[in-house]
Chains A and B, each alone.
Chain A
Amino acid sequence: QVQLVQSGAEVKRPGASVKVSCKTSGFTFTAYYIHWVRQAPGQGLEWMGRLSPKSGGTTTAQKFQGRVTLTRDTSIGTAYLELSGLTSDDTATYYCARRETYSFGYDYWGQGTLVTVSS
């Protein structure tokens, strides 16, 4: 069955970086886009960016440009989100999600990774 399994919760100091992984299984990794979405406590969903596992190409929301790096390892079907220059505003649950090329919707999501930024 299709699964996206994310790495565990992280606690980081302000100014640090965090790298969240999204390990996929049950489907052809290079046939879908992987998107990243975050949600601050008690807030709504915020789109961060997307990765094409086939080409490695990425698109990032302007808000995060310069701080977000999206990468993948096709040999193990895993996508990564790295966020640098962390502040308390980056405290959130980070989700990866799968999108089929010609479909408007994320049909499978990871379970979420809570990143807490605190001094």
Chain B
Amino acid sequence: AIQLTQSPSSLSASVGDRITISCRASQDIGSALAWYQQKPGKAPILLIYDASNLERGVPSRFSGSGSGTDFTLTITSLQPEDFASYYCQQFNTYPYDFGQGTKLDIK
């Protein structure tokens, strides 16, 4: 199975900050990666699909980049509603596992 390693596992930041979250795959997955945001008690929301495509309706302060084994989610100018957990997921090979998650909270 392909392992996804997210870093950091937790992150404290302030409104207006720019943050990046990394997701590293144990083998080449091309662009078969998605990023989700999840708030407590809610289902995840798709932010980025195919590694770098912004899902419709998602604010443009979210962006994704990378291919192969190294991927990044960037949020520019953090807003109060962005404090949540974030997960990457690979779609190259079954099982379509997730990274362990990154919890973003307010500094």
Contacts and interface: CB of A to CB of B under 8 A. Distances in A.
Interface of A: 35, 37, 44-47, 50, 59, 61-63, 95, 97, 103-107, 109-112
Nearest to A95: B43
Interface string B26-66: 00000111101010000111101111000100000000000
A45 B96 contact: no
A30 to B, nearest CB: 20
Contact of A105 (B38, B49, B99): B49
B51 A47 contact: no
Given A45-B44, A47-B95, A59-B94, A107 B100 contact: no
B53 to A, nearest CB: 8
A105 B96 CA distance: 10
Interface of B: 31-34, 36, 38, 43-46, 48-51, 55, 87, 89, 91, 94-101
Interface residue SS majority, chain B? loop
Contacts of B98: 37, 44-47
A44 B23 CA distance: 15
B100 A44 contact: yes
Interface residue SS majority, chain A? strand
A107 B31 CA distance: 17
Contact of B43 (A44, A46, A50, A112): A112
A104 B87 contact: no
Tell me which of B31, B91, B100 has the highest count of chain A C-beta atoms within 10 A of its own C-beta: B91
- Which 6 residue pairs are nearest across A and B when measured between Cβ atoms? A105-B49, A105-B34, A109-B43, A104-B91, A61-B95, A45-B98
Nearest to B98: A45
Contact of B101 (A45, A62, A95, A106): A45
Contacts of B87: 44-45
Given A45-B44, A47-B96, A107-B49, 19 more contacts: A44-B98, A45-B98, A47-B89, A47-B97, A47-B98, A61-B95, A62-B95, A63-B95, A104-B32, A104-B34, A104-B50, A105-B34, A105-B55, A105-B89, A106-B34, A107-B46, A109-B43, A109-B44, A110-B43
